[in-house]
A and B are shown apart, each in its own frame.
Chain A
Amino acid sequence: MTATPDLAAGGDSASVQDGWPLPRSQRSWGPFAVFSTSVSTAIATWCFLIGGFVSFYLPAGKGTIAIIAGSLIGILLIVLACLPMSSKYGIDSVVGSRPQLGSRGSLLSIALIYGSTLGWNVVLFILLGRATSSVLTALGWDTPGWVVGAAGVAGILFVLVALGKGPAAVRDLSQPIAVAVLVLGFIVLGLLLWKVGLGTLLDAPATYPSESGTVNWASALEVLIASNLSWWAYTGAMVRNSPSARQSLWPVVIGLGLAVGVGSLTGFYAGLVIPDSGGDPTQFLVDVGGPVIGVVALLFIILANVGTAVVGVYAATVAIRQVPAVQTLSWRATTVLAILPAFVLVGFFSNDVFSHFSTFVAFLGVCFGPMCGIQIVDFFVLRKQRYDVPGLYDLGRTGVYRFWGGFNPVGFVAFLAGVGTYIYLLDPVSYVSRAPFQYMTASIPSAVVAGLVFWLGTVLIVRPRRIGGYQEPEAAPAHTS
């Protein structure tokens, strides 16, 4: 969600900052570096909301199992789509999408990364505003509704000032924040258990369950799968710094996949025993912990969210700086551009946006599920794990991955097929599902359909025209009788 793995990377600045392929000899990350960066990417206060979302569907025992299972399933798609490719060639996710979408079509990847980072940033700023409002209320002030938006906008301005000094401002922020949020999670969990007792938690029913048990299971799994799919934006940028995919495999599975599941459990339990909170600790910390502990914890949430948002806005800025028209702007102007929509969403629509957190989670599944499916099929099945490295960076007319005018229509049609599949199975706004969602979730079928359409289109349309760097299958040897 928000990480700047490249900032800490070894290697020369061109490889790191410009996204050039990173040769094995320049990769300095060991398994611990990959793991700690993964954890710091995954763990932030949004985990409370992810867990709170699951409390709509399942009670404590089943929900705990679904959260762990969903986080493991979700990371499978990310590992297969990103790890072998990025680790082999030392490239990030955007560059790695050029063989599927085209040299210019990879702008779609930039748009998806920008959309996901912006969305998580907006969530952080609204949480910051809600925490501020709760602190003021606890101090006896009358806090009207606009305080949430105003405090969120103040947070954005603070982040802009902090980032005005350039990328160095965010160095080393994310890891201590992740550790602190984990500690906060344990404190909140302890407070909850102390207040309501383990028995109450275990007996608490799901807050808004469907009538169908299988739909509840699939919905809970889908929340974690879709949340994990947003790691698509970051996994490539992290694992390209490690000399070995083998060394990165389990740090990514545990540090990105399982960590978000474990980090979501406190929000999940809170959502069950304090149903109106939706897992959001800003709504119950003062009641549960008392005014002193509650206010201290809320102030900590404000600080943690500012820190995480600094990193998140940096990530969004880096994403849109890959667009040619934006590269001519100054760093400060790009930062303002990157966060501009957040001003509007946080300042004027904070309640509406916050109440549609589920739609944002679905957006992650809608977009990144098909991308994973397409990349997995292309890298493993169609290209036999081989890319043309110079072609990844050749954006001219003779580039291997130029396809038609820089775009591969097959990639876009496959992506849309995956998006359509997801929306058919699970309405991202209403969360009304259709069969066979209850048996398959929505992200997995959308990835499968996108991959199948991509394979079909490539075999039938692209490969016969000898474009896109695909090798025609060797003709079978002639048999003589």
Chain B
Amino acid sequence: MSAEPLDPALERVCVQMSQTEMQGEALTSRDYWLLALVTIAVPALLVLIGALL
């Protein structure tokens, strides 16, 4: 955590990472909906079923 100037190699990598093609592929809206289904709707359903036991 020193306050030294950025290592030139690190600076190059950082500049690279600012380009979209070097970044990781993002989640799509479909992924987010599926995630919500599995981690919100399914647990909610499970809790409802559990409450009926």
Q: Is A20 an interface residue (CB 8 A)?
A: yes
CB–CB B2/A395 < 8 A: yes
CB–CB A23/B17 < 8 A: yes
Q: Is A324 an interface residue (CB 8 A)?
A: yes
Q: Is A249 an interface residue (CB 8 A)?
A: yes
Residues from chain A with Cβ under 8 Å of B24 in the complex: 24, 27, 87-90, 240, 242-245
Chain A 439-475 interface mask (CB, 8 Å, partner B; 1/0): 0000000000000000000000000000000000000
The smallest C-beta distance from B40 to any residue of chain A, in angstroms, reads 7
The smallest C-beta distance from A308 to any residue of chain B, in angstroms, reads 27
A-side interface size class:
35 or more
Residues from chain A with Cβ under 8 Å of B14 in the complex: 21, 389-390, 392-393
With A23-B16, A23-B17 already in contact, the answer to whether A246 and B27 are too (CB < 8 A) is yes
Residues of B6-33 whose CB lies within 8 A of A: 6, 9-11, 13-18, 21-28, 31
A239 to B35, CA, bound (A): 16
Contact of A24 among B4, B22, B31, B51 (CB under 8 A): B22
The smallest C-beta distance from A399 to any residue of chain B, in angstroms, reads 8
Residue from the set B6, B39, B44 with the largest chain A CB neighbour count within 10 Å: B39
The smallest C-beta distance from A134 to any residue of chain B, in angstroms, reads 34
The smallest C-beta distance from B47 to any residue of chain A, in angstroms, reads 6
The smallest C-beta distance from A334 to any residue of chain B, in angstroms, reads 15
Contact of A324 among B2, B40, B53 (CB under 8 A): B2
The smallest C-beta distance from A219 to any residue of chain B, in angstroms, reads 13
Residues from chain B with Cβ under 8 Å of A118 in the complex: none
With A61-B50, A253-B35 already in contact, the answer to whether A21 and B43 are too (CB < 8 A) is no
Task: Enumerate 5 A-B pairs (CB-CB under 8 Å) in ascending A order.
Answer: A65-B47, A87-B24, A217-B50, A395-B4, A396-B5
Closest 8 CB pairs of A and B: A76-B39, A69-B43, A244-B25, A65-B50, A87-B24, A390-B14, A69-B46, A396-B3
